[in-house]
Amino acid sequence: MKITNVSYKSYRWPLATPIRNGKHIYPEAGLNVIQIDTDENISGIGLIGGVHNGSDIFSSITSHFKETLIGEDPFNTERIFYDLWQPKIIGRRGMSTRIISGIDIALWDIKGKYTKLPLYKLIGGQFNKRIPVYVAGGYYEEGKGLKQLGEEMVNNSASGVTAVKMKIGGVSINEDVERVKTVRSAIGSDIKLLVDANCAYQYHEAIDIARKIENQDIFWFEEPLPPDDYDGYQKLSQSTNIPIATGENEYTKFGFRDLIKNRCASILQPDALTMGGVSEFLKVSYMAQAENLPISPHGNQDVQIHLISSISNGLLLEYYNGSTDPMWLDMFEEPLQITDGHVVAPERPGLGINLNHSAISKYQVI
C-alpha cells in the first residue's frame, strides 16, 4: 500500500457566547482535519488539536510534508515520524508537530481500516472497556454569575458523571476561591472537582490559590504555571496537597521525559492531536507506567478514547458534552456518548470517526 495524496481541511464556527479561560478568549471553535489517501482506496483522517486560527499556516506545513509522504507505506509510522520530525528543517514543537500529530493519527486510521480493526485493538488491545469521564466546562462567560456556574456544573454531573472540571485563573484569586466554593457546594461532596488555570499563574499566585482551595477536596489542579516552568511545577507539587496535572502544552516523548524526570506532576495529560499523534502518545503512556503515573488524555474524546482504553494507567477521559459548544456532539456522525458516567470505544475500523458533513460543511474555511 502506498500514500497517494495528503490534504488539509479546516472548519470554523462561531460560539453562541464566547468562552474564556485563565489565559485566552474563544469566540469560535473548529476542526482541523488531515486526510491521507492510498492506492488501496483507503483514506485515513487525522485531527489536529487546539488551534482555532492559523489555517493557512497549517495548510502550508501540510503541503511541505506531502512531498515526504507520497509513495510511503502508511504502515511505517515509526519511520515516517522520524523523517518528518527533523531538527533544523521544520521545528521541534508548535504547529509543525501538531500537523505531524494529525498525519500520524491518519496513518493509524488507515492501518485500522486496512485490517478492519478498531484502533484500540491495533495498539494495546482492550485494557479497560468502560472509561470514566470528566465533563469539561466552567468557563468564564458574559452573564454567567455564581448561580449559573453552579447550575452548569450540576448539569455537567448528570448521566452518572462522577467528575467535573472548571476554569480558574481568569479573575482575582478571591473571586475564583468563591467560584470554587460555590461549585463544590452545588455539586455536593461525592463528585470529583478538577480546576484548570490554563497556565495563568506565577508561582506565588498558584501557591496562594492552592492553599485557599485545598479544603474544597480538589481532585487535581491543572496547568497552574507556564508549561516550561519545570522548577515551579516541581516546587508546587511538593508544596500543596492538591495533585498537580499537566501536559496539554507539552510535545513529544522528550517533553514528557522532562516533566517526569523533574517530578512536575502527579497526573500527565498528553494530547495525541498536539504532542505527536498515536505513536508518541503510546510512548509517553509507557514511560509513565514505569514511574507509576496515571494518564488522563487532554482533548478530543472521539480520538483519545482508543488510547486510554488500551493502556493500563488510564485515569479519566476529558469529555465535552455540548454545553459550551453543541457542535461537540454534532461534528461526527456517531459521537461518543456517555452511559452511566462512562464511555466505550467504538468497534468501527480505525478511529471510527466519520465527519458529519451536513453539520460542518458550511463552516469550511480551507
Q: Which residue, 72 or 318, is less far from Mg ion as judged by CB?
A: 318
Report the distance separating Cα 243 and Cα 147, nearest Å: 27
- Minimum CB separation from Mg ion for residue 214, in Å? 20
Choose between 176 and 196: whose C-beta lies nearer to Mg ion: 196
Total number of residues binding Mg ion (CB under 5 A)?
Answer: 1
Residue closer to Mg ion (CB basis): 303 or 355: 303
Q: What does the radius of gyration of the chain's CA atoms come to, in whole angstroms?
A: 20
Secondary structure (DSSP) of 272-314:
HHHHTHHHHHHHHHHHHHHTT--B---S-HHHHHHHHHH-TTB
Strand 3-20 vs strand 218-222: parallel, antiparallel, or unpaired? unpaired
DSSP output for 23-78: S-EEEEEEEEEEEEEETTS-EEEEEE-S-SS-HHHHHHHHHHHHHHHTT--TT-HH
Choose one: 61-69, 189-197, 331-339, 344-352; the region binding Mg ion (CB under 5 A).
189-197
**Is 271 among the residues that bind Mg ion (CB under 5 A)?**
no
Specify the residue, 72 or 196, whose C-beta has the smaller distance to Mg ion. Answer: 196
Minimum distance, C-beta of residue 8 to Mg ion, in the bound complex (Å): 25
Stretch that binds Mg ion, among 117-125, 195-203, 275-283, 299-307 (CB under 5 A): 195-203
CB of 311 to Mg ion, least distance (A): 20
Least separation in angstroms between CB 282 and Mg ion: 21
CA angle 240, 241, 242 (to 5 degrees): 90
Does the footprint of Mg ion cover residue 196 (CB under 5 A)? yes
Q: Interface with Mg ion by CB under 5 A: which range of 37-45, 106-114, 152-160, 194-202?
A: 194-202
**Degrees to nearest 5, angle at CA 41 with 39 and 45:** 100
Q: What minimum distance in Å lies between the beta carbon of 170 and Mg ion?
A: 13
Rounded-to-10 torsion of CA 214, 218, 224, 230: 90
Element (H, E) at 246: strand 244-246
Q: Is the dihedral of CA 199, 205, 210, 215 positive or negative?
A: negative
**Helix H or strand E encompassing 209:** helix 203-213
Minimum CB–partner distance for residue 193 and Mg ion (Å): 14
CB of 366: closest distance to Mg ion in angstroms?
A: 26
Q: Is the Cβ of residue 103 or residue 200 nearer to Mg ion in the bound state?
A: 200
Q: How far is the CB of 198 from Mg ion (least distance, A)?
A: 6
Q: Which residue, 49 or 132, is less far from Mg ion as judged by CB?
A: 49
Kindly tell me which of 38 and 240 has the beta carbon lying closer to Mg ion: 240
Choose the binding region for Mg ion from 48-56, 180-188, 191-199, 255-263 (rule: CB under 5 A): 191-199
Query: Of all residues in this chain, which one has the CB nearest to Mg ion in the complex?
Result: 196
Binding to Mg ion (CB under 5 A): which residues in 198-257?
none
Q: Which residue has the cell 495525541?
A: 272
Instruction: Specify the residue, 69 or 264, whose C-beta has the smaller distance to Mg ion.
Output: 264
| Window of 32-40, 178-186, 196-204, 281-289 that interacts with Mg ion by CB under 5 A | 196-204
Partner residues linked to 295 by β-bridges: 268, 314
Q: Would you mind telling me the total number of residues written for the chain in this entry?
A: 366
Neighbouring residues of 142: CB distance < 8 A, sequence distance ≥ 6 = 17, 18
Closest Cα partner for 36 from 113, 123, 120, 93? 113
Query: Among the candidate windows 150-158, 188-196, 330-338, 340-348, which touches Mg ion by CB under 5 A?
Result: 188-196
Question: What is the nearest approach in angstroms of Mg ion to the Cβ of residue 9?
Answer: 25
What amino acid occupies position 36?
A: I
Residue span 41-80 as binding mask against Mg ion, x where in contact by CB under 5 A, dash where not: ----------------------------------------
Closest distance of CB 165 from Mg ion, Å: 8
Q: Which helix (H) or strand (E) holds 152?
A: helix 146-156
Chain contacts with Mg ion (rule: CB under 5 A): 196
